[in-house]
Structure 1
Amino acid sequence: MSGVAAGRVAARLQRLGVTIPIAAAPKANYVPYVCSGTQLHVSGQLPKSNEGEYITGQLGVSLTVAEGQEAARACAIQVVSQLQAALGDLDRVKRVVKLNVFVNSTPTFTHQSCVANGASDFIISVFGEEVGRHARCAVGVAQLPFGAAVEVDACVEVAN
């Protein structure tokens, strides 16, 4: 597992068969994360396939709920890669405070929360119930950068 420090979170990732990719650099004028006190804010992360391509499409037109959940999970993997880059040791995550999940969807699509479960379920499986269970906002949007299916940002509390 490239770039993941040994510890309880790394062990969970290994059991899940997930390799955390190298954190993506921003494609616009912002930073990928900001640490303020004990809070770390991760900028919106887009879903990438195993081949490194963006997962694109719109829920209610070209993607099913299950495909949206996979895209949300892929976003959560990118969030974890940014946490790894920021902290070095994922065991420093004391609490996942909140995820915001933006779902590229039609005006009549109403299952954004089901799509967002793809990200939430992954985060909880990686960090465990006590650390990983979080507040969440799931909203439908008309479009996302690069036509991405989902975007996820996060706020976590970190140990010193």
Structure 2
Amino acid sequence: MVKKHLDEAETIVIATDSDREGEAIARLIINLSGNSRKTIKRLWINSLETSEIKKGFQNLKDGQAFYSTYKEAETRQIADWLVGINLPRLYTLYMQKNGMRGVFSVGRVQPPTLFLIYNATKKSNISSASHFMSCMPLSHTRMVSTKGNTKSGLIHSKTLTGSKKPIS
């Protein structure tokens, strides 16, 4: 549906959050839809007051002026991915070679993610060791949410489509 509207539009107005990540989200959608060559304008506002939003739409900015903001966010995403996929393995092997046991995780995104998990755990009153929650991205379009206990020895993942399969 979004692609259909983007295909039909002569001009695309990006009206996401006025920051790198907002720009990246909008540009990713535009790029995936195949409409990146269309005229792009940017709504740039600092307030959600009706008068400010109207003024922003009357003074849309050239989208090209924000392209570098998108590239900054994209570069950071790539760097986070490269660090996240490589450094934990490197550190784990290095530490194990030097006599330490365990798995060592490294990455810039971990503290905020762990804090979100901590808050979700507090809200759910999940306090025993046998209860847990986790999220595992499977691709850029599908996410698995896991809830369960260890009674059966298997953990079942429930995808957004509702199917279940054991994780070994």
The two structures share one fold, judged by TM-score above 0.5: no
Give the TM-score category using the shorter length.
Answer: under 0.3
Larger Rg: 2
Q: TM-score, with normalisation over the residues of structure 1?
A: 0.25
By relative contact order (CA 8 Å, sep 6+), the higher-ranking structure is 1
More strand by share: 1
Q: TM-score, with normalisation over the residues of structure 2?
A: 0.24
